[in-house]
């Protein structure tokens, strides 16, 4: 049993020795370094043009990032960085609350018009519909984060590849 465990740990370490470079966003605060690996969806706005580049990270070199296997972006040219990976919970919650509010509102309107009772005039239905839609709208700004690159926030590539020591 001990040999199998040792063999599996050794294989795990051998498979992890390939090039490991990732993009980091360093910012002030408690969780001050966010890491982005290949496959993470990010966005960039450059200093030279106002177009937004969005896509999964294809590969990372020391001074540039390639997205969508075709666009290469120099890190020194980035003005605004968009994070589409973090905030999935807020995105899910926002869609859920908005959908529930609209669905409940349609049901109340259809039921009120068929029964000729005017259920939307009922105070509790209006509060429920308004709170569901309002909660969904309040979560919208947290669905993706926008970071302006300046002296407080910067992008950097970190290389943690294991290399043998040589003189």
For residue 107, CA distances in Å to 14, 37, 103, 118 come to 59, 44, 6, 12
Binning the chain into helix, strand and coil, the percentages to the nearest 5 are 40, 30, 30
What digits encode the pLDDT tens for the residues 118-131?
555 667 888 899 99
Res 1 pLDDT > 80: no
Coil/strand/helix, residue 48: coil
Identify whether the C-beta of residue 36 lies closer than 8 Å to the C-beta of residue 25: yes
The per-residue pLDDT for 143 is 83
* Beta-sheet strands, E only, within the chain: 21-26, 33-36, 41-46, 52-60, 64-67, 71-74, 78-83, 145-148, 154-159
Is residue 53 within 8 A of residue 135, CB to CB? The reply is: no
Sign of CA dihedral 95, 98, 100, 102: negative
The whole-number average pLDDT for the span 153-160 is: 86
Share of the chain above pLDDT 90, in %: 19
Distance CA 9, CA 17 (A): 13
More confident position, 111 or 149: 149
Taking the alpha carbons at both ends of the chain, their separation in whole angstroms is 38
Residues, the chain, total? 167
pLDDT bin (cut points 50, 70, 90) of residue 17 is very low
């Amino acid at each position: 049993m001990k040999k199998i465990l040792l063999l599996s740990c050794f294989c795990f370490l051998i498979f992890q020795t390939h090039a490991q470079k990732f993009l980091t966003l360093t910012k002030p605060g408690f969780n001050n370094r966010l890491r982005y690996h290949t496959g993470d969806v990010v966005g960039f706005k450059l200093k030279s043009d106002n177009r937004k580049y969005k896509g999964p990270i294809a590969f990372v070199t020391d001074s540039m990032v390639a997205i969508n296997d075709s666009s290469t972006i120099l890190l020194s040219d980035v003005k605004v960085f968009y994070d589409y990976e973090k905030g999935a919970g807020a995105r899910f919650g926002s869609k859920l609350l908005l959908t529930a509010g609209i669905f409940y509102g349609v049901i109340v309107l259809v039921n009120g018009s068929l029964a000729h009772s005017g259920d939307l005039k009922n105070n509790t239905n209006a509060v429920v519909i308004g709170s569901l839609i309002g909660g969904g709208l309040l979560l919208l700004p947290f669905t993706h984060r926008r970071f302006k690159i300046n002296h407080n926030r910067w992008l950097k590539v970190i290389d943690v590849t294991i290399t043998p020591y040589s003189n």
